[in-house]
Amino acid sequence: MKYDHVKIEKKWQKEWAKNNIYKTGSNQKKPKHYVLDMFPYPSGQGLHVGHPKGYIGTDIYSRYKRMNGFNVLHPMGWDAFGLPAENYAIKNKVHPEVAVKKNIKRYKEQLSILGFDYDWEREINTTDPEYYRWTQWIFLQLLKKGLAYESYEPINWCPSCQTGLANEDLEDGKCERCKSVVEKKPMRQWVLKITDYADRLLKDLDNLDWPESVKESQRNWIGRSEGAELEFSIKDREEKIRVFTTRPDTLFGATYVVLAPENPLIESLKEDIPNWKEVKKYLDKAKAASDIDRSAEGREKTGVCLEGVAAINPANQEELPIYVADYVLGSYGTGAVMAVPAHDERDYEFADAFDLPLKTVIQPLIVKTAGDDAVQPGKALEERSAVVCIVKHWSEDKYLCSRWKKNDWKGFVIGGIEQGEDIGQAGIREIQEETGYQDVGFLTGVTTVHSQFYHAVKKVNRFAHFQAAFFQLKNGKRKETAEEERELHDVVWLTAEEVENFLNREDMKLIWQAFRGNLLYEGNGILANSGAFSGQDSESAKQAITKAVSGKRVTKYKLREWVFSRQRYWGEPIPVIHCPHCGVVPVPEKDLPVTLPKVKSYAPTGTGESPLAAIKKWVNTTCPTCKGKAERETNTMPQWAGSSWYYLRYIDPKNKKALIDPKKEKYWQPVDVYVGGTEHATRHLIYARFWHKFLYDIKAVGTKEPFKLLKNQGLISGPDGRKMSKSLGNVVNPDDIVERFGADTFRLYEMFLGPFEQGNLWSTDNIVGSRRFIEKVWRLAEKVDSKKKADEPELEALVHKTIKKVSDDIERFSFNTAVSGLMILGNEFEKAESISRVNFGIFLQLLAPYAPHITEELWRWLGNKKSIHLEAWPRYSPAKAADSLVTVIVQVGGKVRGSIRVNSDSEEETVARKAQEAPEIGKWLEGQTVKKTVYVKNRLINFVV
Query: Contact, 381 vs 461, CB < 8 A?
Result: yes
The reply on whether position 179 binds RNA by CB under 7 A is no
Which residues, 6+ apart, have CB-to-CB distance to 724 below 8 Å? 48, 49, 50, 716, 717, 718, 730, 731, 732, 762
Collapse the DSSP code of 723 into the 3-class scheme (helix H, G, I; strand E, B; otherwise coil) and give the result: coil
Q: CA 632, 637, 640: angle at the middle one, nearest 5? A: 170
| 769 is a contact residue toward RNA (CB under 7 A) | yes
What phi, psi does 888 have (nearest 5°)? -110, 130
Stretch that binds RNA, among 193-201, 329-337, 537-545, 661-669 (CB under 7 A): 329-337
> C-beta of 521: minimal distance to RNA in Å?
13
Nearest residue to 403 (alpha-carbon basis) of 291, 494, 526: 494
Is 327 an interacting residue with respect to RNA (CB under 7 A)? yes
Asked if residue 148 lies in contact with residue 192, where contact means CB atoms within 8 angstroms, the answer is: yes
Binding to RNA (CB under 7 A): which residues in 219-258? 220-221, 223, 225, 227, 244-247
- Helices (H) and strands (E) in the chain — how many of each? 31, 42
Shortest distance (Å) from residue 332 CB to RNA: 4
665 binds RNA (CB under 7 A): no
Whichever of 206 and 236 has its CB closer to RNA, that residue is: 206
Dist. CA 685–CA 542, nearest whole Å: 35
Q: Which is nearer to RNA, 439 or 775 (CB)?
A: 775
- For residue 719, state whether it binds RNA (rule: CB under 7 A): no
CA distance 576 to 837: 66
Task: Pick out residues in 891-910 that bind RNA (CB under 7 A).
Answer: 891, 893-896, 899
Q: What angle do CA 660, 120, 29 make, to 5 degrees?
A: 55
Site for RNA in 348-367 (CB under 7 A): 349
By the rule CB under 7 A, 761 interacts with RNA: yes
Between 75 and 253, CB nearer to RNA: 253
Residue placing its CB nearer to RNA in the complex, 225 or 877: 225
Interaction between residue 765 and RNA (CB under 7 A): yes
Interacting positions 98-157 with RNA (CB under 7 A): none
User: Interacting stretch for RNA, rule CB under 7 A, among 25-33, 309-317, 763-771, 842-850?
Assistant: 763-771
Q: Which of 344, 561, 572, 705 binds RNA (CB under 7 A)?
A: 344
Q: How far is the CB of 636 from RNA (least distance, A)?
A: 25
The one among 299, 379, 552, 866 contacting RNA by CB under 7 A = 299
Q: Are strands 381-392 and 460-473 parallel, antiparallel or unpaired?
A: parallel
Window 449 to 488, contacts with RNA (CB under 7 A)? none
**CB 762, min distance to RNA, A:** 10
- Listed residue (738, 744, 739) closest to 844, CA to CA: 744
543 binds RNA (CB under 7 A): no
Q: What are phi and psi of 782, to 5 degrees?
A: -70, -15
Please state the closest distance from residue 505 (CB atom) to RNA, in A: 11
Regarding 2 and contact with RNA (CB under 7 A), the answer is no
Tell me if 500 contacts RNA by CB under 7 A.
Answer: no
Q: Is 775 in the site for RNA (CB under 7 A)?
A: yes
749 vs 869: CA distance, rounded Å: 20
Instruction: For RNA, give the closer residue by CB, 68 or 432.
Output: 68
**Residue 247 CB, nearest distance to RNA (Å)?**
5
Closest Cα to residue 649, out of 587, 575, 706, 693?
A: 706
Among 50, 57, 75, 335, binds RNA (CB under 7 A): 335
Whats the size of the chain, residue-wise? Answer: 945
Taking Cα atoms as reference points, which of 256, 227, 231, 261 lies closest to residue 243?
231
C-alpha torsion sign, points 484, 489, 495, 496? negative
Mapping DSSP to helix (H, G, I), strand (E, B) and coil, where does residue 339 land?
A: strand
Q: How far apart are CA 430 and CA 414, in angstroms?
A: 7
The reply to whether 808 sits near RNA by the rule CB under 7 A is yes
Residue 348 burial (10 A CB sphere; 0-12, 13-18, 19+): buried
Decide whether 660 or 781 has the Cβ nearer to RNA: 781
Name which of 699 and 931 has its Cβ closer to RNA: 931
State the Cα–Cα distance between residues 162 and 605, nearest whole angstrom: 8
Helix axes 793-811, 52-67, angle to 10 degrees: 120
Options 434, 809, 856, 857; binder of RNA; rule CB under 7 A: 809
Closest by CA to 362, choosing from 523, 547, 544, is 523
Contact 90, 604 (CB under 8 A): no
Residue 272 beta carbon to RNA: minimum distance, rounded to whole angstroms: 23
- CB–CB of 585/627 below 8 Å? no
- The smaller minimum CB distance to RNA, of residues 289 and 614, is found at 289
Closer to RNA by Cβ: residue 309 or 941? 941
Residue window 33-62: x/- pattern of binding to RNA, with contact defined by CB under 7 A: ------------------------------
Instruction: Name the residue nearer to RNA (CB basis): 118 or 943.
Output: 943
DSSP at 161? T
* β-strands 256-259, 336-339 pairing: antiparallel
Give the distance between the most distant pair of CA atoms in the chain: 108
Closer residue to RNA, CB minimum distance, 13 or 334: 334
Q: How far is the CB of 128 from RNA (least distance, A)?
A: 31
Identity of the residue, 399 or 935, whose beta carbon is nearer to RNA in the bound complex? 935
Site for RNA in 678-697 (CB under 7 A): 678, 681-682
* Choices 7-15, 295-303, 305-313, 690-698 (CB under 7 A): range interacting with RNA: 295-303
Of 37-45, 231-239, 511-519, 928-936, which part binds RNA (CB under 7 A)?
A: 928-936
Q: Which stretch binds RNA (CB under 7 A): 662-670, 684-692, 759-767, 848-856?
A: 759-767
**What's the closest the beta carbon of residue 617 comes to RNA, in angstroms?**
42
Q: CA gyration radius for the chain?
A: 37
One of 882, 889, 912, 930 touching RNA (CB under 7 A): 889
CA 715 to chain centre: 16
By rule CB under 7 A, what count of residues binds RNA? 84
Query: Could you say which of 112, 295, 655, 807 contacts RNA (CB under 7 A)?
Result: 295
Task: Choose which of 44, 608, 719, 755 interacts with RNA (CB under 7 A).
Answer: 755
Q: Which of 216, 284, 736, 907 binds RNA (CB under 7 A)?
A: 216
Side-chain half-sphere of 82: how many Cα atoms within 13 Å? Answer: 20
**Is position 878 an interface residue for RNA (rule: CB under 7 A)?**
no
Select from 83-91, 109-117, 411-419, 746-754 the region that touches RNA (CB under 7 A): 746-754
What is the spatial distance between Cα 915 and Cα 890, in angstroms, rounded to a whole number?
Answer: 7
Tell me the C-alpha distance between 521 and 344, whole Å.
7
* Binding characters for RNA, 814-843, by CB under 7 A (x = yes): x-xx-xx--xx--x--xx------------
Return the range that interacts with RNA (CB under 7 A); candidates 47-55, 511-519, 566-574, 803-811: 803-811
- Under the binding rule (CB under 7 A), the answer on residue 212 touching RNA is yes
Residue 865 found at the interface with RNA (CB under 7 A): no
Stretch 371-390 residues interacting with RNA (CB under 7 A): 371
Cα–Cα distance between 324 and 337 in angstroms, integer?
Answer: 10
Q: Which of 235, 455, 776, 860 touches RNA by CB under 7 A?
A: 776
Q: How far is CA 340 from CA 320, 509, 522, in A?
A: 11, 22, 10
Contact between residue 518 and residue 447 where contact means Cβ atoms under 8 Å apart: no
Return the number of the residue (576 or 823) whose C-beta is nearest RNA. 823
Contacting residues for 425 by C-beta, under 8 A, at least 6 apart: 442
Tell me which residue of 5, 119, 124, 125 sits closest to 62, measured CA to CA. Answer: 119
